[in-house]
Amino acid sequence: MNYRIFPPEEIIETTLTLPLSKSISARSIIINALTPDAPELPDAADCDDTRALLKALAEPDATEINIGAAGTAMRFLTAYFAIQEGRDVRLDGSERMRRRPIAPLVDALRQLGADISYEGEEGFPPLHIRGRRLRGGALTIDASISSQFVSALLMIAPLLEGGLTLTLRGQLVSRPYIVMTLGLMERAGVESDFYLDTITVPAATYRRGLPDAEPDWSAASAWYEIAAISSGWITFTSLPELSLQGDRACAALYASLGVNTTFTSDEGTSLSANPDQSPRLVHDFTDTPDLVQGAVVTCAMLGIPFRFTGLKTLAIKETDRCQALVNELSKIGILLRREADDTLVWEGERRPFNELPVFETYEDHRMAMALAPVSLFIPGTVILNPDVVSKSYPGYWDQLREAGFAIVDADAPLPEPTETI
């Protein structure tokens, strides 16, 4: 079913419980699997990516594993299975996954002695992985494509002969996610050193269980967008101010877009409107690419011109996210401009439109969540294939309903307008 969305009739005032962090959960699942005599797995996010990881790890004799569209699972499991002596696994995914590059990670693992071959196009899944004991040492990897390649290597690094000294080449993207990985490894008993562009992890054994995952700052960012566009009041029952998650930066970002964040120990974290919106927003998203789509739509709806850089990695996400934003916002007269391969610009250019928007989601959960709040300005906005939010935030639509949004079958006829006298 496709969804047609209508905004609340009153100003939004809602309290909600966020899902647990997908990023922390995915790393915790892998680290737990690498820990001898591991304790019970801590509470983790319930979403497509974590389900794909848990299913793969729960089938010790499986030779064919398909992780669907779960990019995190593809990267982390590639490294994980490479060091599982005796395992022989074919790792595959969706058609989109088969177009997402994985060569930098495979090349790095091969340098460590991994036996991995491509079963289709060179440099892309599906992969045939024959697990073996890997040597450590010094290694260089291109860190400008995906931080998950780096995190995948780091999590297996303690198990390598001699540990690993990893040098990051090129512009490091999503640095907070690498810091998150190292932080979770430390909590599990493995120390490391990250200095300039080099990370050193000694040979060691994971020896401690990890705590439950934190509430998800990436999910919170979807509500920051709603708070900015609606000027409503939104409270999260729990959201840590001090967090391993890089997307906590959305609090500072949205302070420039009219949203105050108030942290309290007993009343949760509250979002409220302020009048101090930037007249034009310039921001580098190199560290926080998952915040881009929501920020673009927020600025477009509020009429705030922007220049956003650091977007290079968006082309290899679930879809080419920059082009998807250009395509979909043009349906409501917003004319975005791409510059080079890492910049998106809007100087307020518009053109008239005369149809209710029907937004494609491109099998991308963040496109669906970024575009749904357009309904606050354009009641009756349609979101196609809304179930894609299950990748990270399965309860998103239910929580929109709890906040007062009306969500109906898009294929049902629109109600006739009520005649008034």
State the average pLDDT over residues 52-66.
94
Q: Is the pLDDT of residue 140 over 60?
A: yes
Same domain? 178 vs 294: no
| 134 belongs to a structural domain | yes
Q: How many domains does the chain have?
A: 2
Same domain? 331 vs 227: yes
Same domain? 151 vs 231: no
3-state SS of 11-50 is CCEEEECCCECHHHHHHHHHHHHCCCCCCCCCCCCCCHHH
Ramachandran region, residue 381 (left: φ > 0; alpha: ψ -120 to 50; beta: rest):
beta
Q: Name the domain boundary from 142, 175, 201.
A: 201
Same domain? 219 vs 145: no
- Residues 28/210, Cβ–Cβ less than 8 Å: yes
Same domain? 91 vs 11: no
Same domain? 181 vs 51: yes
Q: Name the domain boundary from 201, 233, 264.
A: 201
| 418 belongs to a structural domain | no
User: What does the alpha-carbon distance between residue 218 and residue 213 come to, in Å, rounded to a whole number?
Assistant: 13
290 is catalytic: yes
User: What does the alpha-carbon distance between residue 224 and residue 253 come to, in Å, rounded to a whole number?
Assistant: 10
Q: Residue 415: its pLDDT value, please? A: 66
Same domain? 84 vs 228: no
- The domain that holds 224 is classified in CATH as 3.65.10.10
Nearest to 105 by CA among 78, 66, 129: 78
Task: Tell me the whole-structure pTM to 2 decimals.
Answer: 0.92
Report the percent of the chain where pLDDT is more than 70. 98
pLDDT digits (tens, 9 = 90+) for 228-267: 999 999 999 989 899 999 999 999 999 999 999 999 877 7
Q: Name the domain boundary from 201, 226, 247.
A: 201
Same domain? 26 vs 14: no
Report the percent of the chain where pLDDT is more than 90. 87
| 113 belongs to a structural domain | yes
- Which structural domain, as residue segments, surrounds residue 174? 22-201
| 368 belongs to a structural domain | yes
User: What does the alpha-carbon distance between residue 416 and residue 421 come to, in Å, rounded to a whole number?
Assistant: 16
| 354 belongs to a structural domain | yes
| 96 belongs to a structural domain | yes
Q: Residue 279: its pLDDT value, please? A: 96
pLDDT digits (tens, 9 = 90+) for 192-214: 999 999 999 999 999 988 988 99
Same domain? 88 vs 144: yes
pLDDT digits (tens, 9 = 90+) for 321-366: 999 999 999 999 999 999 988 999 999 999 999 999 999 999 999 9
Q: Is the pLDDT of residue 417 over 60?
A: no
| 81 belongs to a structural domain | yes
pLDDT band at 420 (very low <50, low <70, confident <90, very high): very low
| 421 belongs to a structural domain | no
Q: Is the pLDDT of residue 393 over 90?
A: yes
- Residues 126/92, Cβ–Cβ less than 8 Å: yes
Instruction: Sort 412 into a burial class: Cβ within 10 Å, 0-12 / 13-18 / 19+.
Output: exposed
Q: Is the pLDDT of residue 408 over 70?
A: yes
Same domain? 43 vs 91: yes
Same domain? 288 vs 385: yes
Cis peptide before 126 (omega within 30 of 0): yes
Q: Residue 317: its pLDDT value, please? A: 84
Q: Which of 92, 290, 342, 364 is catalytic?
A: 290
- Residue 257, strand partner residues: 277
Tokens of 125: 């899944």
Same domain? 190 vs 219: no
